[in-house]
A and B are shown apart, each in its own frame.
Chain A
């Protein structure tokens, strides 16, 4: 909706005034979505009050492992990212893209009316801003624009939150996507003990900030925010070496590591469901019994499904090994050709939420350590 501003204008928002942010957004017609605890994890859902935020909780993450844990402070945002991502609002898991009705004069085709829900996302991390930017390229950057994503995206108001710690599964530093929020937000917050350092990233954000009960930020508060953000940098232990990664993977399509990881992979689609950039989907018809009213429903799909590459005369990727290779080479290699960016933002969700803890950084490292380019498949 508005242009990017240089992030110079910092203010301080005391926690006592935090609720006003949600109230103003709701008053402006936004559905505010933020983190909350549900099903023993921190998920994203509609909120109306700061009291619904996971105050005093954090997450402990490892490959295939996630646990909530009480913090020894009252931080609102003292965790990293959970199983949900904002993609469920911008690119809904199930939506109707078109419909058809049988009439006396033949089939009549329709597409749905534009989306009217305006979302405000509260607590978007740097890796998630990067993921939204990636999906912007996918859904709105090519010759065809997806109307559903585009409508929702243009109306969204984004309040980013700078991470102040990192999970062992985080590797945004490797992907150059974080942990500092640098662009793609309307407002960005850095949480301190008694309030937030707020910066505006757009005119809309600046306008909202002017209506908040903010105070002039002090040099001490700015320094404290900086040291909190630095902690998220310092804590990051996981790395993905992206040097030449496109060619590394595409020139090692016959590497023995694919079979090895393929034997562990369940083909269950969890990594692609939790990934904030994965966009694979399928449109399928749902009809009434008479077959005269048809809806074309789009649902999230996954390159890990056998049916995904099915053709009438055969299936292209007929083994889990081939499908894991497709996912990883798409995400980290061919995505560069297609969208001029990596498809990975280093959020670590695919590592944490893999039911058997497969870690893509480990898979890439294994291929890199035994780069057998000479074994690449036949070329003319």
Chain B
């Protein structure tokens, strides 16, 4: 009931990402000023050039680890941060760039860059939790601004953030959406994907592609087996699972399993 007196010192750090999750905070127009008032923003380059040195009470980390420099920097951020929260699919599962984990990075570098010798990059894109201990993960591509506000409110109040972990289907049904897979045969990852987006894609008549990553305790194979039996080509299932959360273990393993069958 009585919140801790001091405003938590907050830092926002970015790794390999599109900045969209940081923008979610800035996009919270109606509540932005109030949210900012709850915390002491010490490091947030997307919003302000003012920089306050660590340590920080709370670090929000966006993006995945893709370079040797990233590997070092995340260790330093962990040392400087009391409570470390990863925000978004890049930070929690490696992001869309984790597709490189199935490819040859050198081929990409030679194709894209005129002087590849200046590029220093890891062959993988991995989640923050693969490198340091993470206190809380906020899913999504991008994250849901209301969930982010809840996280900040919870931190200020000194409690654990409350984000729901059920499947996208529950949100879909509660909005009155008709199940797109059952009614049209279009594949949808909603049954195995965690809620958070408000079931945006099915609401606009397309299947879920798993932005919020796997829900808890999923049986991905049961869904993919059924979709394939109902006519979805295995070659279509693999890219569906390898999307923004391709690095999340259940999606990664199931996509590998299907690929090994084809």
Q: CB of B31 within 8 A of chain A?
A: yes
Give A296-313 interface residues, CB cut-off 8 Å to B. Answer: 299-300, 302, 305-307
Give residues of chain A (242-284) contacting chain B, Cβ–Cβ below 8 Å: 263-270, 273-274
Check A38 against B191 for contact (C-beta < 8 Å).
Answer: no
Asked if B256 CB lies within 8 Å of chain A CBs, one says no
Contacts A266-B222, A268-B190 given; indicate if A43 touches B178 (C-beta within 8 A): yes
Chain A residues positioned under 8 Å from B192 (CB to CB): 266, 268
Contact across chains for B169 and A270 when beta carbons are under 8 A apart: yes
**B165 CB to nearest A CB, Å:** 6
Residue of B nearest to A94 (CB): B174
Task: Identify which of B157, B182, B219, B223 contacts A66 (C-beta below 8 A).
Answer: B182
Residues from chain A with a CB closer than 8 A to the CB of B31 are 289
A126 to B184, CA, bound (A): 27
Contacts of A268 in B (CB 8 A): 167, 169-170, 190-192, 215
| Bound CA span A305–B179, Å | 19
Task: Say yes or no for B100: interface residue by CB 8 A criterion.
Answer: no
- Decide if B183 is an interface residue (CB 8 Å cutoff): yes
Contact of B176 among A43, A266, A356, A357 (CB under 8 A): A43
Q: Does A134 contact B (CB under 8 A)?
A: no
Contacts of B230 in A (CB 8 A): 64-65
Residue of A nearest to B33 (CB): A289
Judging by beta carbons under 8 Å apart, are A307 and B178 in contact? no
B182 CB contacts on chain A under 8 angstroms: 64-66, 83, 352-353, 355
Chain B interface mostly = helix
The chain A residue with its CB closest to the CB of B221 is A263
Interface pair B166/A302, CB less than 8 Å apart: yes
User: Would A83 and B179 count as touching, CB distance under 8 A?
Assistant: yes
Most buried by B among A65, A270, A291, A353: A270
Q: Give A165-224 interface residues, CB cut-off 8 Å to B.
A: none
Q: Is A300 a contact partner of B183 (Cβ separation < 8 A)?
A: no
Question: Which interface residue of B157, B177, B225 has the most chain A CB atoms within 10 A?
Answer: B177
Contact check, A320 vs B173: say whether CB atoms are below 8 A apart: no
Q: Which chain A residues numbered 346 to 360 have a C-beta less than 8 Å away from chain B?
A: 352-353, 355-357
Chain B residues, Cβ within 8 Å of A290: 34
The count of chain B contact residues (Cβ–Cβ below 8 Å) is 40
| B216 A269 Cβ-Cβ under 8 A | no
Residues of B within 8 A of A357 (CB): 226
In whole angstroms, how far apart are the Cα atoms of A307 and B70 in the complex?
35
- B166-A269 in contact (CB<8A): yes
The answer to whether B166 and A356 have CB atoms under 8 Å apart is no
A265 touches B165 (CB 8 A): no
Chain A residues, Cβ within 8 Å of B217: 267, 306, 319-320
| Residue contact A39 to B219, C-beta cutoff 8 Å | no
Residue of B nearest to A88 (CB): B176
Q: A65-B182, A273-B169 are in contact. Are A265 and B222 (CB under 8 A)?
A: yes
Beta-carbon contacts of A58-75 to B below 8 Å, as 1s and 0s? 000000111110000000
Tell me the chain B residues, 131-182 only, with Cβ under 8 Å from chain A: 149, 153, 157, 164-167, 169-170, 173-182
Contact: B169 with A355, CB < 8 Å?
yes
CB-CB contacts of B195-238 with A at 8 A, as 1s and 0s? 00000000001000000000111110011011000100000000
Task: Please report the C-alpha to C-alpha distance between residue A67 and residue B184 in the assembled complex, in whole angstroms.
Answer: 7
CB nearest neighbor in A for B219: A266
Question: Is there an interface contact between B38 and A289, defined as CB atoms closer than 8 Å?
Answer: yes
What residues of A have a CB within 8 angstroms of the CB of B166 in the complex? 269, 302, 305, 307
Cα–Cα distance between A68 and B149 once the two chains are bound (Å): 42
Looking at B34, B157, B170, B188, the one whose CB has the most chain A CB atoms below 10 A away is B170
- Residue B258 is within 8 A (CB to CB) of chain A in the complex: no
Question: Does B35 count as interface, using CB distance less than 8 angstroms?
Answer: yes
Report the minimal beta-carbon distance from B231 to chain A, rounded to whole angstroms. Answer: 11
Q: CB < 8 Å: which of B34, B157, B183, B223 contacts A40? A: B183
Assembled-state Cα–Cα distance A299/B157 (Å) = 24
- A41 within 8 Å of B (CB atoms): yes
Closest to A44 in B: B176
Does the CB pair B223–A84 fall under 8 Å? no
Instruction: Give Cα A281–Cα B174 distance, bound, in whole angstroms.
Output: 12
B238 nearest CB across to chain A (Å): 19
B184 in contact with A40 (CB, 8 Å): yes
CA of A352 to CA of B223 in the docked complex: distance in angstroms? 15
Q: Are B170 and A269 in contact (CB under 8 A)?
A: yes
What is B's interface to A at a CB cutoff of 8 Å?
Answer: 31, 34-35, 38, 149, 153, 157, 164-167, 169-170, 173-184, 188, 190-192, 205, 215-219, 222-223, 225-226, 230
Jot down 30 A-B pairs with beta carbons below 8 A, ordered by A: A39-B183, A40-B183, A40-B184, A65-B230, A66-B182, A83-B178, A93-B174, A93-B176, A94-B174, A264-B219, A268-B190, A269-B169, A269-B170, A270-B179, A273-B173, A274-B173, A287-B153, A289-B38, A289-B149, A300-B170, A305-B165, A306-B165, A306-B217, A355-B188, A355-B190, A355-B191, A356-B191, A356-B222, A356-B225, A356-B226
Top 10 closest A-B pairs, CB basis? Answer: A273-B173, A268-B191, A39-B178, A93-B174, A356-B226, A41-B178, A268-B167, A266-B191, A268-B169, A289-B34
